Chain A
Amino acid sequence: MNIEITDLTRRFGRTTAVSGIDLQADPGVFGLLGPNGAGKTSLLRMMATAIPPTSGRLRLLDRDPGRYGPRQEIRRRLGYLPQNLGYYPGFTVAEFVEYFALLKEVPARGVRAAVAAAVERVQLGDRAAARLRTLSGGMLRRVGIAQAIVNEPELLLLDEPTAGLDPEQRVAFRGLLRDIGRRTTVVVSTHLVEDVAAACSEVVVMDQGKVVFRGTPAELEARGQAHGVGDAPLERGYSAVLSGSRS
């Protein structure tokens, strides 16, 4: 199991962002849906080892991230794209990805090849020498994806990865996700149900810090058959699940 979560809770002061979640995942692409404030980003940050859980059990890649040694092992095998990607404007695309390859302890002799491959996979090969300050928002998002996949992660966590991408890039990105998901556990937090429909093998819907649905996209669509809110079948399913959980 690449992700094993049992009764996981995270509080920020009096606010409970994630409340007693149970989740397991093997290789595949998992869509994480939910309204704003549902706790998606907090869950992703815990899985990314950026913050520790307040309580509960979290195992990633069969290791305990609460201990330093195993946490480092997880981090070497982890890719993470935060919701708001910070970057150094003076770095070039290749340098920024190389910087993260080095920080992720990619073996020195493989760094250049890994950087080249990651940059190519997000279709920025021709902009590899461009400084980040010259790139558009969509390109920066792709740079963020490149740094996340440069170490060929076994666990890839993407928070709103398609925000800012144009339709063509979004389609290409979904293809990339499907490709990576064959041997890697990919968790994608998104508001865009099209991404989930096109790329995810499984979908998790969160609301108010809890998991309110887990199943395939088809199962989520089925939930919405008798529900009138939403333009697409998956949107109707999503709305139906949220309405059901709140009632």
Chain B
Amino acid sequence: MTWTPDQPIVSLTDVRKSFGDLEVLKGVSFDVMKGEVICIIGPSGSGKSTLIRCINGLNDIQAGSITVEGQEVHDPKLDKLELRKKVGMVFQQYNLFPHKTALQNVMMAPVLVLKQDKAEVESRARALLAKVRLQGKEDSYPGELSGGQQQRVAIARSLAMNPDVMLFDEVTAALDPETVKEILVTIRELAEEGMTCMLVTHEMGFAREVADHIYFTDRGVIVEHGPPSTFFSEAKDPRTQEFLGQIL
């Protein structure tokens, strides 16, 4: 099956995932089109992070299917490395490589994994760091950067691979409210440029503003979903209403 851009870039069908006896995903299905920005919201422990980690194969699944650009992610024959070149991921705890400078963090994967020309990668990496407003921090080590700055390096590091889809796993959850803004500005710019983004987030205001579609998960299932224009005002399910009532 060949994938064409008019088909969903990421497609989940009845995905089930358990940790031992604990079933955290109980049949999740949805599609993401190219250029779409979707937000997954929901209470803690509802399986949001697990869901997003299944998409680049960091977690495996027990049943169902996940495809990225038409390729089955959990096909044992699939080259996971090829998949991960297409899917970038940013973590809550930044996870920069502490022994490398900001610039080296961004350059490492394109040079070592994609075997691209070092000089070309360096100019691209510098441009990416400038794009996330980190000019002058190229030679700083992660330990010398604030949380917000580290997270922006992490975003630049993912973007350097030129992914088709970006996954954001609660990327602002470890930051204070002021630095959250710098991260959200960066993500919004990405979204406006047409990057397909999937965000797990607790920032409802941001979700309302940038998302094309919002999914609400609770206890391993998608309870409700819709575009932000209707999702926040016309939530029907009592669980969604309760959650939104607590947040908004």
**A joins B in a complex:** no
User: Residues on A close to B: CB < 8 A?
Assistant: none
User: Residues on B close to A: CB < 8 A?
Assistant: none
